[in-house]
Amino acid sequence: MSTVERTAGAEPNGFRVRLTLRMVLPVERPARVDAMRLAWSAALAALPLTVSLAAPVSALGTAGVLGLACAALPGVTATAWSAARMYDSRTGAMRALCQAGAEQRSAWVMATCRVVLFTGVGALVGGVCVIVFHSPLRRLLPKHSPLRPMLAVGGASWSAALVATVILVVLGALLASSPAWRRLDVLLRAAWAALPWSRVERVVSPVWAALRTASLSVRRAVRRLR
Amino acid sequence: MSLPSDNPVLDVRGLVFPADGSVLRQVHLAVGEGETVAVLGPQGAGKSVLRACLAGELDSAGGTVWTNGKPFHLMPPEAKRAFRLRHYGLVYQDTVFLPELTLADNVALPLRFAGVGAARARRKALTWLARFEIAEAADARLTGLPLDMVRRAALARAMVNDPLLVLADEPFAGLPSQSADMLGRVLNSIALSHGTAVLLFTDDPATAARCQRTVDLVAGRIAAGPVPSAAVTPAAPAAPSASVGAPAPVAVSTAGPDRVKAAR
């Protein structure tokens, strides 16, 4: 009788939890960089998102909404981009787990935990920063600033906005690191390549590559000097 | 549904995938215990689909798959997974390991998922790593591990649960012939000593030659193929058991270990 035959049972929950905890923190440097980048991007996206979710509807004028949308753009873009970069590591982890015999659903959960954790912590940090600093920031703002009335809300609204922000940013990151997004990304790239102004890219790409090479050489030289 | 009379470890009859048979048409195949059989076919012949159907990762549209006398094709997905975890060893062409775990932990994973304790699973993993001569890398991380070691670790992971059946998709791909020969010998000797049936899928005749028997998969059908001239004399030669259109006779080794018989 095989070893497994004697002891086999359902996938043990304690083991799953321990394995998930081991998988959450990346050990390889590129994976660590990707995860940290995702956390910072989520924090950046959470700043305007928390304000817009906490603000009373009456305070949301056109200028205010436009301002918040513009402020959210870099963070949201960076979050989507960073999460999309984690698609490969996420699917790789899921494949490894399935190959080792994990149940498909629990493999998905375990492989997704890193994206959820880093995005969640990032968004939480961003949201908490807004909650902590909204009062002094409000005092610093000019009287007619569209942002000023948005920051004049109570503690309950901030708490609800914080929870909603974390959920929204995590869901966004999950979407951006999903196969559906990957397909969309491929389609968008194909559409971009079909556009006549992609010729610009053809000109810009070598320049960009040359700049990157130069920057790498400078970094290497600085490292050698150190 | 009646049980196959000769009761081999794996008995496949009339396997069809998908419903129109465009990939697999009436595949008949049988593998006895302690036997290593190569399914040889060009790319696109349906090898990977056949492997996935036999492993229960794809649902075939017709035919039967009996494993160790059990109707594997009739099992619901969750039962198939549990059965696979207990009795199957799978080697994937694109083997992936978790970089967060050590090599030994990765090899022990199938046992851990099956509910075996950490210490015992690790002991088993170390035993199999030693058998494939990579025990010294047991506590190494996976980053930058040479392909040779990855292939050995993949085989060790497949064997760690003492499976009755190993389905190996290109297990020696990319290896120099010396390493592949060595792994082939180890696999043959393990098959004989443990009574494990090994089904190896490859498009390389040299890899197929390392098995006791070769069957050709051509356009989704198994055709009885000639044993390549470079074939190493098998320790326990078995008669060819695959044929077109009819259930195949099976040579079941009589020297199978008690483990297999107990599991039956």
Cα-based distances in Å from B102 to A91, B165, B228: 19, 26, 39
Q: Are B194 and B158 in contact (CB under 8 A)?
A: no
What is the per-residue pLDDT for A94? 93
Banded pLDDT at A2 (limits 50, 70, 90): very low
B123 close contact with A: CB closer than 8 A: no
Q: At residue B256, what are phi and psi to the nearest 5 degrees?
A: -65, 145
Q: Smallest CA–CA separation between A111 and chain B, in Å?
A: 10
For residue A110, the chain B residue with the least C-alpha distance is B98
Q: Smallest CA–CA separation between B115 and chain A, in Å?
A: 5
Q: Which of A91-100, B123-132, B218-227 has the lowest mean pLDDT?
A: B218-227
In 3D space, the residue among A117, A113, A81 whose CA is nearest the CA of residue B98 turns out to be A113
Higher-confidence residue of B119 and B3: namely B119
- B259's enclosing H/E stretch is helix B258-263
A197 close contact with B: CB closer than 8 A: no
What is the per-residue pLDDT for A114? 94
B141 - beta bridge partners?
Answer: B102
Chain A neighbors of B87, CB-CB under 8 A: 2
A23 close contact with B: CB closer than 8 A: yes
Banded pLDDT at A3 (limits 50, 70, 90): very low
B83 close contact with A: CB closer than 8 A: no
What pTM value is reported for the model?
A: 0.77
Could you read off the pLDDT of B52-87 as tens digits, one per residue?
Answer: 999 998 988 889 999 988 899 999 988 998 899 899
Could you read off the pLDDT of B186-198 as tens digits, one per residue?
Answer: 999 999 999 999 9
Could you read off the pLDDT of A202-219 as tens digits, one per residue?
Answer: 778 888 889 989 999 998
Higher-confidence residue of B216 and A5: namely B216
Chain A neighbors of B95, CB-CB under 8 A: 99
In 3D space, the residue among B162, B157, B120 whose CA is nearest the CA of residue A101 turns out to be B157
Chain A neighbors of B124, CB-CB under 8 A: 3
Banded pLDDT at A190 (limits 50, 70, 90): confident
Q: Which two tokens stand for residue B39?
A: 């399914």
Question: Are B85 and A31 in contact (CB < 8 Å)?
Answer: no
Domains in chain B, please, with CATH?
Answer: 10-263 (3.40.50.300)
Which residues 91-110 of B are in CB contact (within 8 Å) with A?
92, 94-101, 106, 109-110
**A136, HSE (Cβ side, Cα atoms, 13 Å):** 4
ipTM value, please give it.
0.78
The three-state DSSP-derived secondary structure of B56-83 is CCCCCCEEEEEECCEEHHHCCHHHHHHH
Chain B neighbors of A13, CB-CB under 8 A: none
What is the per-residue pLDDT for A124? 97
**Exposure string for B83-110, b = 16+ CB within 10 A, e = fewer:** bbbbbbbbbbbebbbbbbbbbbbbbbbb
What is the per-residue pLDDT for A202? 76
For residue B84, the chain A residue with the least C-alpha distance is A101
Q: Are A146 and A70 in contact (CB under 8 A)?
A: no
Could you read off the pLDDT of B143-172 as tens digits, one per residue?
Answer: 788 899 999 999 999 999 999 999 999 999
Could you read off the pLDDT of A11-31 as tens digits, one per residue?
Answer: 677 888 999 999 998 888 889
Domain residues of chain A, as ranges?
3-191, 195-226
To the nearest whole number, what is the mean pLDDT of chain A?
Answer: 87
A59 - beta bridge partners?
Answer: none
In 3D space, the residue among B213, B176, B182 whose CA is nearest the CA of residue B198 turns out to be B213
In 3D space, the residue among B197, B209, B262 whose CA is nearest the CA of residue B233 turns out to be B209
Could you read off the pLDDT of B222-240 as tens digits, one per residue?
Answer: 875 444 433 333 333 333 3
Higher-confidence residue of B168 and A153: namely B168
Could you read off the pLDDT of A30-54 as tens digits, one per residue?
Answer: 899 999 999 999 999 999 999 999 9
To the nearest whole number, what is the mean pLDDT of chain B?
Answer: 81
Classify B108 in phi/psi space as left (phi over 0), alpha (psi -120 to 50) or beta: alpha
A30 close contact with B: CB closer than 8 A: no
Could you read off the pLDDT of B82-104 as tens digits, one per residue?
Answer: 899 899 999 998 899 999 999 99
Backbone Cα Rg of chain B: 17
Q: What is the mean pLDDT of residues B36-46?
A: 90
What is the per-residue pLDDT for A9? 47
Sheet strands (E) in B56-188: 62-67, 70-71, 88-91, 165-169
Q: Smallest CA–CA separation between B162 and chain A, in Å?
A: 6
B214 - beta bridge partners?
Answer: B38
Chain B neighbors of A92, CB-CB under 8 A: 96
What is the per-residue pLDDT for B224? 58
Q: Considering CB atoms only, which of A7, A23, A101 is closest to B98?
A: A23
Q: What is the mean pLDDT of residues B18-47?
A: 89
C-alpha to C-alpha distance for B35 and A202, rounded to whole angstroms:
57
**Exposure string for B129-159, b = 16+ CB within 10 A, e = fewer:** bebbebbebbeebbeebeebbbbbbbbbbbb
C-alpha to C-alpha distance for B82 and A3, rounded to whole angstroms:
14
Q: What is the mean pLDDT of residues B118-133?
A: 93
Residue B221 clears pLDDT 60, i.e. is over it: yes
B79 close contact with A: CB closer than 8 A: no
Q: Is A115 exposed, middle or buried (0-12, 13-18, 19+ CB in 10 A)?
A: buried
What is the per-residue pLDDT for B237? 36
Chain B neighbors of A30, CB-CB under 8 A: none
A131: three-class secondary structure by DSSP: helix
Q: Considering CB atoms only, which of A8, A23, A96 is closest to B114?
A: A8
